A and B are shown apart, each in its own frame.
Chain A
Amino acid sequence: MIEVIKLYKYRVKKKFKIIIIHCILSFMVLLIAFPLIFALIKSTQTISEVFSYPPRLSFGSAGLNNYKTAWFDFNLGQFMFNSSLIALIITVGKIILSIMAGFAFVFFDFRCKRFLFLFILVTLMLPIPVRIVPLFDLMKQLKWGDTFYALTIPFLASATGTFLFRQHFMSFPTSIVDAAKVDGAGPIRFLIQILLPMSMNTIGALAVIEVVYVWNQYLWPLIIISSNNKNVIQVGLNSLIGTGDQGTNWGMVMAGAIIALLPPLIIFIILQEQLMRGFSLSNDK
């Protein structure tokens, strides 16, 4: 009998706990999203609505006008196109190069293997700020200043990707190589027909990481791109703000910020399962 009462008490306590957890969770979600919700509301308001006091916290009468102005009159459409193109080139390039490198490190024996792996890994210690002045000069010498070459080609190698695919490939039993050899499959066919279909989670994880990373780049495009129509969205967004005082059309700036956020956000939401799986995959040895 006492046991039953104990169990009942335990259940009531648990139910109460669940309700509290729901409340705290919803509050946290709202708190984190709050700046974004505020931006979304303000993006639909006209200038006078934005500056009304006390601040108006409901959707305004500008509708999609701020979005249209930002997109067409302030060239955001062009910036979005530029960023998409660059993100696509770098992400696809990095995935291909990392798969090739990871494949070489796991399924072949060759001289200087350890050295070459370290050689690629050490590039992790060379982020842009470490080499920014000479890289800028190099771009000028190659006549790549103010071009998409400067925004893409220097970023194609990926230590993260190489490491990620090496880990992933190492998790396969070595017997599958033997099986492939028995079947008479060469290395390239083995890679394309057997390894790749089993690597979609890793590819997805790397794709999210790289799309978000490339899309959000700011410092390098800021210094290397000088023509307005070649700008990426992150730097272009800054041009909407202008002086930042009364003359700023904040509704339109918020519309621009939301436009700039959408592509990586959508890709992140679609691929977040892969990202999580990619992460926990690297956790267990």
Chain B
Amino acid sequence: MTDKKKKFSKDIIKLESVEQTVDRIVNKLKKDVFVHLQRKGGIVGISGGIDSSVSFALAVKAFGKENVLGIMLPEKDSSSDSEVLAKKLADKFKVKTVVENISGALEGFGCYRRRDEAMKRVFPEYNPETYKSKIEIRQNILKQNMPAIFSLTIIDENGTSKSKMLPMKEYLQIVAASNFKQRSRMSMLYYHAEAMHYAVIGTPNKHEVEQGFFVKYGDGGADVMPIGDLYKTQVYELASFLGVPQEIIDRTPTTDTYTAEQTQEEFFYQLPFEMMDLLWYAWENDYEPAEVAPALGITEKEVENVFKTFLRKKKTTEYLRMSPIRNY
């Protein structure tokens, strides 16, 4: 620990100046897209979520509203709120939008069929017409230093739910099939980007990039990622400053990938984002658990468990961040 290191507190990742942060990102976005990439504007896939909304608002500020196109990419499992909120966002910034429903492409890829086959092997009674489904991690990251085990939960029309631990084969098939969604979206974004000579503005935040919560060549496929170095808490700070509609700010972050409501916390992070931000900051800046624990109201052992999980996640998701190896 150096002498200059700030004392750990709950406010440690709060931006000193939101305005300056926005200016810095906007200036860099302009330079990257107009000068380095030689593109005339930006394409943003907007989902009504906080990350894509902030990325969109930054792109509008950087390129001007006439040089940004918002693309909504719903499919049959998407929440109807997503499109409504995305439209509200685009209207507020007076930006043109295009709706591209990707359900047909996903049918063609066999996305739903392949996913449902695997789900039926776990729950033979599962019927995608009458059941909703989601994947969850049911372990407590604070209490257990163990890699995540995923469970499949199905919910019938009466709201009765059943969960079962997923065997590896079925887990991998469900995820591989579901990833067609992000990869189809990426293809469509690049269609519009190339047709307009624009860049694709990626929307992952710092956690998604560093913890590997993205699909390689799916939502991880983009030309620039303006919020890729921001903690989720900071993304919210920018959202208010940039004028993102309050309904979007108030919405719980979801994956919008499975038919049952599923928060990002349930599927991947296992912690509320405010706490995860602080713990990730502490971990990557080498704060001692003894200093972090009292500030967050948890035990040192719990901090240690989370740090070990972070290390494991960063290590095991390195593959997602790697470019193809070509030095043969």
Chains A and B bind each other: no
